Amino acid sequence: MTIFKTKDKAEKSVIENIKLDNIYPSPNQPRVIFDEYELICLAQSIKENGIIQPITVREVTEGRYELIAGERRVRASKIAGLTEIPAIVTEHSDEESAVLSVIENIQRCDLSFFEEAEAIRKLITYKNITQEQLAQKLGKSQSTIANKLRLLKLSQSIRNLISGYGLNERQARAILKLPEDKRESAVEEIHRLGLNVSQTDKYIEVLLNPERRKKKPTWTFTEKRLYINSINKTLDTMKKSGVPFESEKSIDDGILTYIIRIPQD
């Protein structure tokens, strides 16, 4: 058993093996989604290498522990068939435990952006501090904190839709520009069209300014070249597949013309 001092407290903390059945998750755990495949991979690693980094817990009642950090390790250990896990047992109040749980997850950088936003909100509430003060503690800019908190203005149903479709944080912030009643259909359309961040921004601007629909779109040379390459690749694929056809390509006065003849027989 190893005894050491915590970073900001004089109380002793210990590392000991604790039964997994005696550990329950913190109610302040910001992570709500756990990737099943990642857990299985972690479980396999634990089978082969054991637990490299102990989890962190606090004893709430005799023999029962609240998890502060390491829920993925706990879940994966259960999948791996372990009954015990090494844990750092600390002495913290309810508030301290909540703060540590939130900070640990934020610093791991593997939360979804909605989970991170919720964690930041909780941390500001628990510590009763300003966005600027929290930004300094986390090594982020105040504008970054503010932008993340803005995401929580989206309804839970819209957040679920955005997460389910795999849209990113910048796309989620773009959706915020729309009225509530237009957000769901916009998310559906962004997913259906497979829009990237830049295209999403343009799409949102069109929704906010319908008169822009009347403007003729401009195409860059690069965008045109992508379509030309697609035609060439299609012809090459047809040729390799043995599809009979004749094709002609000509350029006259800046106009590229393709003529493709395919026998109907």
pLDDT in tens, 193-223: 999 999 999 999 999 987 766 555 566 666 6
Query: Distance between CA atoms of 226 and 98, rounded to whole angstroms?
Result: 52
Distances (CA, A) of 32 to 35, 71, 113, 250, 256: 10, 11, 12, 58, 54
Cite the residue boundaries of each domain of the chain with CATH code 3.90.1530.30.
Answer: 2-111
Catalytic sites, residue numbers = 71
H/E element, 60? strand 55-61
pLDDT in tens, 172-182: 999 999 999 99
CATH of 2-111, one of 3.60.21.10, 3.10.129.10, 3.90.1530.30, 3.40.30.10: 3.90.1530.30
Q: What percent of the chain lies above the pLDDT cut of 70?
A: 83
pTM score, whole prediction = 0.54
Work out the number of other CB atoms within 10 angstroms of the CB of residue 197.
14
Cα 189 to the center of its chain, rounded Å: 20
Query: Distance between CA atoms of 144 and 177, rounded to whole angstroms?
Result: 17
Instruction: Inform me whether the pLDDT recorded for 10 exceeds 90.
Output: no
